[in-house]
Structure formats: structure tokens, C-alpha cells
Amino acid sequence: MNPSDEHFQGVVQRSVERWRDGASTPVEDVVAEEVPVAMVYNGRTFAVMMATPHDLDDFALGFSLTERLIADPSQLLQLETHALLEGIELAMRVTDNAAGAHLDKERERLLPGRSGCGICGTRELEDAVRHDAAVGAGIAITRDALEKALHELKERQPMNLATGAVHAAAWADASGRILHVREDVGRHNALDKLIGAIRRAGVDVNDGFAVVTSRASYEMVTKAASAGIALLVAISAPTALAVELARSAGLTLIGFARPGSHNVYTHPSRLQPEAPQEPI
């Protein structure tokens, strides 16, 4: 994939009429891209996701891991990105012992995955609502670290700053310093991209936490738990199912995270009081 190719920029310019105070002005506006991205494993299509065509290498790896089509990054042997008239194809070759190597009609999705949908077309209830294994111990963070991560994330979303139309998922260390950020029109796609990025970078998930600029729907918790992430912070609300899945997975779920306020829904022990002041 050539990062300079116009198919993989994530944003495009379009001519619009901008109305202000009853008068219109022709301007060039920046809008987010949303294209069909086909996930193909050993020649067989598993799903077509509506996504922002940026950081697709991370998307391929993260999606493959959170959908349990591979168990480890080493099982993804090859990735080729093909720009087609209809969209983009991510053609992956996986090892014979990976689940993605044994797709059949029972595992294929019936419908495309829309940008706001994490399981569109999933056939079976057990595939839709997964109960992943419990996460590890993770880390404990202070409220100062949480506030720092929220503050830093505001300036680390170039596509959203340009368009106002995409979500972000970020990885922060114990101090709240943002280390990785990925963006997409779909909240679950952004999280998949982030998971792919941190796995490619060899990040230890017990040394940090994830922040998402969206609601904490159940698939966000499921994806985080499947990656071993023990602390997930969402700027908006969780759902009841997300709370229950987080509780059963041992994951700390924080919602409505805003400057100066947040709600801790599960496993509050990972959020500590402020760090003690150093003596003068």
C-alpha cells in the first residue's frame, strides 16, 4: 500500500455552499472517507466493513485478532491491499492452524458491516455476544493520569479536527501519556486499528489503558477484553450489556469521561486516588 495514494488518505475535499447569516459562499470542505473494505482470508471473504481507508495494515491485524480469525500476529503471514473500483480488498494469507484458514459458509457474514455496526451479518447468537477470558491484572492509574490522557487526545485526532466526523481510539501509559492513536468513521474500527497498532509495536497491554471517543457499546468491551486490555475509558455512555461483559471479564469500564468527571462502572480498584505530593 502506498500511503501517498489518494485511495488511502482518509479525508477528501469536496465543494460545498456554506451558508452564514443568510448568505452563501462556495468553499472547499474536508470530509471523511467511508469505503467498503473486504476482509479476505486465504481467498475467501469473511466480511465487508465500511471503514476509513487509513492505517489499513493495523485494521487488518486488529480485526483478525478481535474476530478470533487468528490467535497471534505470527499467524498473519501476508497482507496485500488492493484498491478496486468498488472499494478496497485486504487480501490476507494466514497459517493453516488459524481459524481464518478454515472459513466456510457457516462463518461468513450475511451482510456488510456498516460503520456503526460491529457484528452486522453474524449468524449465531454465540458469535454476537462473546464471553472472552478474563483480562490480566492490568495497571492502576490515578485520576490525574485519566485527565491527562483525555486532554492529550483532543490534539491527537487530525482527521477529526479536519472533518468532525470520525472516532478515535488511543493507548496511554500509566502516566496518561498518549502513545498511539487511530481514527475511523466506525468506533469499533478505530479500536481494531489501535489493537493492531499496539500488537505490531509489541506493547504490553498490562502497562497502559485504552481511551475511545465514543459510547462503550458491548462490542467495544468485547474487543478490548479479547486483546487483554484491562482498563477501557469511554467519553460517552456504556450499555447495560457492556457493563455486564466488563464485569465478567474483570475489565475496568469508565464512561462519561470528561474533564473533571467520570463514572466507574466495573472493577473500580484500578482507579486510584491522586498520587501523594512529594515533600518540599
102 and 168 together in one domain: no
Q: Which of 62, 95, 128 is the last residue of a domain?
A: 128
Q: How many domains does the chain have?
A: 2
55 neighbors 27 (Cβ within 8 angstroms): no
Q: Which of 88, 105, 128 is the last residue of a domain?
A: 128
241 and 159 together in one domain: yes
Q: Give the pLDDT confidence score for residue 178 in this predicted structure.
A: 98
**Which CATH number fits the domain that encloses residue 242?**
3.40.140.10
202 and 115 together in one domain: no
Q: Give the pLDDT confidence score for residue 12 in this predicted structure.
A: 84
Q: Which of 99, 128, 157 is the last residue of a domain?
A: 128
Q: Could you give the CA distance from residue 157 to residue 176 in angstroms, rounded to a whole number?
A: 16
120 and 184 together in one domain: no
117 and 204 together in one domain: no
Q: Which helix (H) or strand (E) holds 169?
A: strand 167-173
Extract the C-alpha cell encoding 263: 463514572
Q: Which of 172, 199, 252 is nearest to 76 (CA)?
A: 199
Q: Confirm whether 117 is a catalytic residue.
A: yes
Average pLDDT per 10 consecutive residues for the chain, totaling 280 residues: 54 88 88 93 94 96 96 97 93 97 68 52 51 85 97 94 94 97 96 98 96 95 96 97 95 96 96 65
Q: Could you give the CA distance from residue 178 to residue 211 in angstroms, rounded to a whole number?
A: 9
7 neighbors 53 (Cβ within 8 angstroms): yes
**pTM given for the model:** 0.87
Q: Could you give the CA distance from residue 27 to residue 259 in angstroms, rounded to a whole number?
A: 34
Q: Could you give the CA distance from residue 119 to residue 187 in angstroms, rounded to a whole number?
A: 13
Identify the domain containing residue 89 by its residue range: 35-128
Place of cell 482518509: 10
* H-helix segments, the chain: 56-66, 125-128, 143-154, 158-163, 187-200, 218-226, 240-249
The answer to whether residue 133 is domain-embedded is no
**Which CATH number fits the domain that encloses residue 86?**
3.10.20.10
103 and 155 together in one domain: no
Catalytic residue among 30, 117, 140, 203: 117
Q: Which amino acid is at 178?
A: I
